[in-house]
Amino acid sequence: MKEQKNILRVLVAESSSFARLVLEDILSAASDIAVRGLAADGDQLLQLLQSHKVDVVLASSDLRHNKQLFSFKRIFSEHPVPILMLVEREKLTLELLKEAIELGVYSVIVKPDASSRPNYRSIADEIRLKVKAVKESEYWNPEKRLRMLEQEVKLLPSVSQKSRSTTADTIIVLGASTGGTQAVEAIVKQLDPDLRAAVLIAVHLPSKFTHSFARRLNELTPLQVSEGRSGLIPKSGKIIVAPGGRNMVVHSVMGNAANLKIGFAEDGAHGYDMPSVDVLMQAVAKSAARQVIGVILTGMGKDGTAGAGAIFKRKGGHVIAQNEETSAIFGMAKSAIESGHINQVLPLSQIAFYLNRYVAEQQQQVSITDSDT
């Protein structure tokens, strides 16, 4: 039987079996909503997404196996679908909201009470309305969603300005071409799980390959890996892979040069080297990030040389190049080294450990400086 058009297909995920049934009953009361499955935890939710084609996921933030929104992270990378998140009032923070938005949450419903059996029937109309709102919502626009949700949930204005600025103090840019995917993988899997830096990656790959590349990296590290999209914030512990065929950059948020978001260059420059390492490195070098580290890896050509120069010349800039012996193609790194804008030349096996140590030392210096002021 052919499915009726304009029917919103929904998966419901809640730890409580009673709550799942109540939510199913609330949604089924609407003629244009169909519940396609019920999940008790994050793992079951992902299993259902593999076998069910749905339009919306209605899920509680405190699901089992969803610590630090891990299940939402996997949905975003493996089965992209908009999420409507149920959350307890006392757990709702600006940090949680920003994290959730970056992982595909288009709206939030505050649970009516903090008990194990929240009275969802008291907000039945709100639940149905917000599920249907996915049809009109621009859930791919993180900035717009954040502004809307901040007003909607009336977050307390007591959050300090420092906590609002979530851009990492240190940004690392990895650039590569031929042989670059293997080189990046070797580095990423050795990065410190508590790395206090954002990592931006530009590898010359077609658009069809960068999504699967980001997924593969995600399996190698506890750090959060995602493919770049407009509005993402380069936060500490986050790795962002430039999508193929586009030149990823960073932009300031609301005119605040120290608060950055991911964007894309509109011009077609560097068309043969996309995503361009130079474009990304130059954009980050121009930002107000406290510390910028560039890494030029294996690859053919000279992409990254100009970017390395921009980072090398700025205050708080440091540039590393992969050595010839461990490079599949010693072109990009060689060009950068010959430019004189490299601080360290290292074998591939040492780069991640160097980054871990360098970032930790810089953070320690910052902490000492801040305590003295």
303 in active site: yes
* 3-class state of residue 259 by DSSP: strand
15 in active site: no
Please name which of 209, 289, 195 lies closest in space to residue 242, comparing C-alpha atoms: 209
CA distance 24 to 33: 10
204 in active site: yes
Residue among 177, 236, 327, 339 flagged as catalytic = 177
- The CA-based angle 283-289-294, given to 5 degrees, is 60
Indicate left, alpha or beta for 314 from its phi (over 0: left) and psi (-120 to 50: alpha).
Answer: beta
What separation in angstroms does the CA of 267 have from each of 176, 229, 272?
21, 17, 13
Q: Which residues does 125 contact at the CB level (< 8 Å), separation at least 6? A: none
- Tokens 């609330």 locate to 26
Return the HEC string of 57-112: EEEECCCECCHHHHHHHHHHHHCCCCEEEEECHHHCCHHHHHHHHHCCEEEEEECC
Q: Which residues does 52 contact at the CB level (< 8 Å), separation at least 6? A: 9, 11, 36, 37
Question: How many helices and strands, by DSSP H and E, does the chain display?
Answer: 13, 14
CA distance 261 to 200: 12
Residue among 303, 318, 339, 341 flagged as catalytic = 303
Q: Is-contact 240 232, C-beta < 8 A?
A: yes
Residue among 60, 61, 169, 204 flagged as catalytic = 204
Catalytically active residues, by annotation: 177, 204, 303
